[in-house]
Chains A and B, each alone.
Chain A
């Protein structure tokens, strides 16, 4: 019998296979940044978050904002597996008349809590949701996933200051620290590293984990939830393209669709076509 962690790892593999399938079938998307966030998204939707696929607007639900919205194929795969919509939609990703937009779109896709993808805005939006929850006496948590390159955006730091000021304890931010941004390695492009001490200096509760280690993701989230008087950040060290060897650490796969051969190779690496 599988342990809980093994079950979640299985789900994460499924999500990785699905997101690669989705991008392959549609012919467009951001595979490598989706793969790096896949374990965090899996942990959130299949263990941590209280949501109801039959009632996506349930007002007491936990919220997730995928601020690095280009990783939405991973989110769509998780939502499909949760039952928000059918996997039959996969080939329509980024195509006309589709529910699956190129970036998360609250108006088009069931289960999406916020439009996102113009980088930098997710923490502010999440802060608003967290403050609303406190005001209305709700117990929900608001989770945000940002990229590491995304932290270049000034509004991120506006939100970091304000969230601490408001003691937004129910706001939990994951940084998908895959060390790449669109233009190359983060260290070469933007000088945002090291991330943790910067956010720590703003007074947030900070943790650093292996973003592909399911047990660490769960443990860190639990610890973050227990902090009631401060927002929390979990800097998750990840590998861009994780799980598909020819995509790992290869920024050419920031955006692009695998061809048939590449798709088959990816599926074998991820445990086979479903």
Chain B
């Protein structure tokens, strides 16, 4: 299947330039990541508001914190893992704890987004790490148009935020029903029925939609839900969907520990215990490669989602029998 692509990196950059025109407090901090997001346009337009700090992410996070503490709104964009792992403590102690208004943009979010670079540049732990740090709004948009909406939303949300972006060759979700982005609210992308609910985050959304179509052909009615905001989680909507479907699947290009799968499991086990099958990376480190075959090889394939849905439904049947 040929999927239309649009760069989430450029979606971020272009949105930032738009926002910067309206709000002079917006600045950009790059630890030699200007090329990643093609920031030259921003730099040309706003040379005083562009801060290159070199390949030094811990420094970058604290510099951003210092800028924010004086009333500016710094966006810090680089690879997801260099923000959330290399500079994790700076994110936690110097941004999240004081509640400073720093916006992190994490590129190469997920195995597929790191694609040919290999494990050093594939980041599938970012969401799990950030979910354990209190006070950060965490967003995993489904595609470039959702990135644009997310960037605009976090810019006017006081406090630390993180948005995951991809490789720049990111699939467009064409069949999303036009449901608008609202920070902190799930988007119901497809509602065939209530045999199973498939919660999905990020650039694998097309796979969840495709799986729902295949299930539909087999007479299994699925609801597909984009959970783009991982913190704060839309608990009310998730509980309601679990109540309606009694079986759930999570789909994410992330370790199944800490990310969307964990988030849904937490809500489910506390509010309405529901059979759940999690699709994502399961204790494996991936490798270089084209993103689509990579996702298939590491068990985030459409067929994996279909099978997961059936498994979740069978658990529901077993339990009720």
What is the interface of chain A, defined by CB distance below 8 A to chain B?
A: 59, 106-107, 113-115, 118, 120-121, 124-133, 135-136, 138, 142, 154-155, 158-159, 161-162, 165-166
Contacts and interface: CB of A to CB of B under 8 A. Distances in A.
Interface stretch (B67-75, B109-117, B229-237): B67-75
B77 interface: no
Contact of A128 (B49, B62, B89): B62
A133 B52 CA distance: 17
Contacts of A127: 59, 62-63, 66
A114 B69 contact: yes
A158 B59 contact: yes
Q: Is the interface of B mostly helix, strand, loop or mixed?
A: helix
Interface stretch (B92-100, B165-173, B299-307): B92-100
A129 B66 CA distance: 5
A127 B98 CA distance: 17
B84 interface: no
A124 B74 CA distance: 14
B59 A118 contact: no
B54 A158 contact: yes
Given A118-B93, A124-B63, A132-B66, 9 more contacts: A115-B94, A124-B66, A126-B66, A128-B63, A128-B66, A129-B69, A154-B58, A161-B56, A162-B59
B90 interface: yes
Contacts of A113: 69
A92 to B, nearest CB: 20
Contacts of B61: 124
Given A115-B93, A121-B90, A132 B53 contact: no
A136 B49 CA distance: 10
B98 A128 contact: no
A155 B56 contact: yes
B46 to A, nearest CB: 10
Contacts of A121: 58, 62, 90, 93-94
A227 B86 CA distance: 33
Given A115-B93, A115-B97, A128-B64, A159 B71 contact: no
B54 A136 contact: no
Contact of A136 (B51, B59, B70, B90): B70
Contacts of A107: 97-99
Interface of B: 27, 48-49, 51-54, 56, 58-59, 61-72, 74, 89-90, 93-94, 97-99
B48 A158 contact: no
The 8 closest A-B pairs by CB, nearest first: A128-B66, A124-B62, A158-B56, A132-B70, A158-B59, A128-B63, A155-B58, A129-B66
14 contacts: A59-B70, A106-B69, A114-B94, A118-B89, A125-B62, A126-B66, A127-B59, A128-B66, A128-B69, A129-B70, A132-B69, A132-B71, A159-B63, A162-B54
Contacts of B58: 120-121, 124, 154-155, 158
A36 B56 CA distance: 31
A172 to B, nearest CB: 14
Nearest to B56: A158
Given A118-B93, A124-B62, A159-B62, A136 B56 contact: no
A53 to B, nearest CB: 19
Contacts of A138: 70
Nearest to A138: B70
Nearest to A155: B58
Nearest to A133: B70
A59 B54 CA distance: 28
A162 B93 contact: no
Given A115-B98, A131-B51, A155-B58, A162 B72 contact: no
B93 to A, nearest CB: 5
Contacts of A124: 58-59, 61-63, 65-66, 90
Interface centre among A133, A142, A155 (most CB of B within 10 A): A155
Nearest to A130: B66
A132 B62 contact: no
A166 B53 CA distance: 8
Contacts of B68: 128
Nearest to A171: B66
Nearest to B92: A118
Interface centre among A113, A118, A162, A165 (most CB of B within 10 A): A162
Contacts of A130: 66
Interface centre among B27, B69, B70, B89 (most CB of A within 10 A): B70
A161 B93 contact: no
Contacts of B72: 132, 135-136
Contacts of A106: 69, 98
A161 B54 contact: yes
A224 B226 CA distance: 55
A161 B52 CA distance: 11
A93 to B, nearest CB: 20
Contacts of A155: 56, 58-59, 62, 90
A162 B65 contact: no
A127 B56 CA distance: 13
A238 B262 CA distance: 51
A59 B51 CA distance: 21
Interface centre among A107, A114, A133, A154 (most CB of B within 10 A): A114
Contacts of A132: 66-67, 69-72
A162 B67 contact: no
A141 to B, nearest CB: 13
